[in-house]
């Protein structure tokens, strides 16, 4: 499923009673056919939310998103969205940092914010018996973040330390260059972390202006799960969000067709090579989406059961992990493949990956593979998405972010079961017959296999792009590894990086 941008709810320092209750919920086994009944709530003030009422435990989880995200960072102010989301619990309203965090501790609530490429998300989980205080604090954080000098300076210092470290990580540097090759001058090419220069220049006034532009009712999406009625939720929606402006002040972000058929080879002298391939994807609202999704599962999304896993790891032991994913941003969609292998077998591994892609594109998948994929994708959905009130809230928010209907959970299985073998193979052929963009991070590929492995990958007019890692750029232990995360809604906008499961 689409990306679930879920903040961590269980910080060690807070909410022991809440964490204990949540742990109980996490330990409850959820059947594959678990019923999740979603209702739309409209507050007296006109704010909408999707609600799943559940009184199993006296707990409420709310997740919300403001469309915009780090793609709205102004030119020269990269990292602004990320910095802002680190400061909402650092003081709000008439409470400075210490007073706000003390009050949050006493309330037993857990609050978090994060910045994705296309939206800023927030969350709060609270005990029903302490709802008034929890909602009061969330209301202050959403409407009146203080952005005081000391917290701003401290957070900037932390982010700057991370940025300095990233400048010594070849995978980070290579990823930045690859995004520039793929996305050009589009907002998606910019790093959501910003640069040392942009982060150092950010001010409290920048944060206040960005918050004012981004937080509005018109770009707000809300999901709530737990021990709260529709009537009470409507009241809380107006309390938390009712004072926000009606419309956000967002910059236009155009749709984008990524650049394919291009190779970036970022060289550095370590015994590991990271390989990433990027093919065209499919929009989430496209009726052919599940045909492509099932093809991806068979190719590389099915973990231990995928063709890539079988050929690359099981048969040859070339990599610890290898996988593929469909990725959807608001303005582009891609199909990525990634792995990391020993440098002396990089060309061999790349050749095997390309051969398996060719087989799926030209020969298709089998009926047995398709039926197994359908069974897994249907059965794993509840386990991955309904194991707690927080995960259900994240799922319900994700449905709205993806523009899916409110009965999606009820109709999902039938939609998947109806996909035919011809439809799957047609989508595989359509999307995987394109020459991919290729990123190689590591030493030069073995000469003997180099021509075959990179065949066609640099077929664009621009040819291959070779980047030599700058002196001192390589820190100890900086070798990359595939994250293994598979989903359809990336949080970062970085090619091949996704979260969640559809």
- Residue 284 domain-assigned (yes or no): yes
Q: Is the pLDDT of residue 479 over 70?
A: no
pLDDT of 467: 47
- Residue 500 domain-assigned (yes or no): no
Please give the share of the chain, as a percent, with pLDDT higher than 70.
Answer: 82
Q: Is the pLDDT of residue 332 over 80?
A: yes
Q: 223 and 363 in one domain?
A: no
- Mean of pLDDT values over 395-410: 97
pTM, 2 dp: 0.86
What are the tens digits of pLDDT across the range 406-453? 999 999 999 999 999 999 999 999 999 999 999 999 999 874 344 444
* Residue 261 φ/ψ region, left for φ over 0, alpha for ψ in the -120 to 50 degree band, beta for the rest: left
Q: 157 and 292 in one domain?
A: no
pLDDT of 304: 86
Contacts of 200 (CB under 8 A, 6+ apart): 156, 160
Sheet of strand 220-226, all strands in order from the earlier edge strand to the far edge: 39-42, 48-53, 220-226, 59-67, 119-127, 110-115
pLDDT of 494: 55
Count the Cβ atoms, other than its own, within 10 Å of residue 139: 18
Of residues 384 and 275, the one with the higher pLDDT is 275
pLDDT confidence band for 271 (50 / 70 / 90): confident
- Residue 248 domain-assigned (yes or no): no
Q: 151 and 76 in one domain?
A: yes
Q: Is the pLDDT of residue 5 over 80?
A: no
Q: Is the pLDDT of residue 382 over 80?
A: yes
Q: Is the pLDDT of residue 475 over 60?
A: no
Q: 312 and 213 in one domain?
A: no
Number of domains in the chain: 2
Count the Cβ atoms, other than its own, within 10 Å of residue 351: 18
CATH classification at residue 117? 3.30.830.10
* Domain end among 191, 209, 241: 241
- Residue 75 domain-assigned (yes or no): yes
What are the tens digits of pLDDT across the range 163-200? 999 999 999 999 999 999 999 999 999 999 999 999 99
| β-strand pairing of 220-226 with 59-67 | antiparallel
Domain ranges, residue 176: 33-241
CA pair distance 298, 292, nearest whole angstrom: 10
Q: 58 and 95 in one domain?
A: yes
Report whether 496 contacts 336 (CB < 8 A).
yes
CA pair distance 85, 105, nearest whole angstrom: 19
Of residues 25 and 245, the one with the higher pLDDT is 245
Lowest-confidence range among 151-155, 240-244, 264-268, 396-400?
Answer: 264-268
Q: What is the mean pLDDT of the chain?
A: 86
Q: Is the pLDDT of residue 313 over 80?
A: yes
Q: 290 and 200 in one domain?
A: no
Burial-class residue 94 by CB neighbours within 10 Å (0-12, 13-18, 19+): exposed
pLDDT of 23: 43
Of residues 468 and 212, the one with the higher pLDDT is 212
Of residues 334 and 461, the one with the higher pLDDT is 334
- Residue 26 domain-assigned (yes or no): no
pLDDT confidence band for 502 (50 / 70 / 90): low
pLDDT of 500: 35
């Amino acid at each position: 499923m689409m990306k679930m941008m879920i903040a961590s709810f269980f910080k060690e320092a807070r909410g022991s009673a809440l964490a204990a209750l949540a742990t109980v919920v996490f330990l409850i086994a959820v059947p594959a056919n678990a019923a999740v009944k979603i209702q739309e709530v409209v507050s007296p003030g006109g704010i909408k939310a999707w609600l799943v009422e559940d009184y199993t435990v006296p707990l409420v989880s709310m997740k919300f998103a403001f469309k915009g995200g780090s793609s709205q960072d102004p030119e020269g102010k990269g990292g602004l969205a990320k910095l802002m989301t680190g400061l909402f619990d650092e003081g709000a309203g008439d409470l400075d940092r210490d007073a706000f965090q003390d009050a949050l501790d006493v309330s037993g609530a857990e609050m978090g914010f994060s910045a994705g490429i296309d939206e800023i998300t927030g969350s709060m989980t609270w005990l029903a018996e302490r709802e008034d205080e929890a909602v009061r604090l969330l209301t202050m954080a959403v409407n009146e973040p203080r952005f005081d000098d000391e917290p701003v300076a401290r957070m900037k210092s932390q982010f700057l330390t991370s940025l300095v470290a990233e400048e010594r990580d070849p995978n980070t540097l290579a990823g930045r260059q690859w995004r520039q090759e793929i996305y050009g001058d589009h907002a998606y090419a910019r790093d959501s972390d910003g640069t040392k220069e942009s982060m150092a220049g950010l001010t409290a006034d920048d944060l206040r202006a960005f918050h004012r532009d981004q937080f509005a009712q018109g770009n707000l999406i809300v999901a709530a799960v737990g021990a709260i009625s529709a009537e009470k939720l409507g009241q809380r929606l107006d309390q938390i969000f009712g004072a926000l402006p009606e419309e956000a002040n967002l910059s236009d972000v155009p749709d984008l067709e990524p650049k394919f058929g291009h190779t970036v080879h970022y060289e550095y002298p370590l015994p590991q090579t990271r390989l990433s391939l990027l093919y065209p994807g499919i929009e989430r609202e496209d009726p052919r989406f599940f045909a492509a999704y099932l093809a991806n599962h068979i190719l590389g999304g099915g973990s231990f059961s995928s063709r890539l896993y079988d050929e690359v790891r099981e048969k040859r032991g070339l990599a610890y992990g290898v996988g593929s994913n469909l990725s959807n941003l608001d303005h582009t969609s891609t199909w990525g493949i990634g792995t990391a292998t020993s440098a002396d077998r990089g060309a061999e591994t790349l050749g095997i990956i390309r051969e398996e892609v060719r087989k799926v594109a030209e020969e298709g998948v089998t009926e047995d593979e398709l039926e197994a994929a359908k069974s897994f994708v249907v059965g794993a959905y509840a386990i991955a998405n309904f194991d707690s009130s927080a995960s259900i809230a994240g799922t319900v928010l994700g449905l709205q972010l993806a523009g899916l209907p409110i009965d999606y959970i009820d109709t999902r299985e039938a939609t998947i079961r109806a996909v035919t073998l011809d439809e799957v193979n047609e989508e595989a052929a359509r999307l995987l017959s394109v020459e991919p963009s290729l990123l190689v991070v590591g030493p030069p590929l073995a000469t003997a296999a180099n021509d075959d492995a990179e065949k066609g990958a640099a077929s664009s007019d621009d040819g291959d792009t070779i980047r030599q890692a700058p002196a001192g750029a390589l820190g100890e232990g900086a070798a990359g590894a595939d994250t293994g995360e598979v989903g359809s809604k990336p949080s970062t906008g970085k090619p091949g990086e996704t979260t969640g499961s559809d």
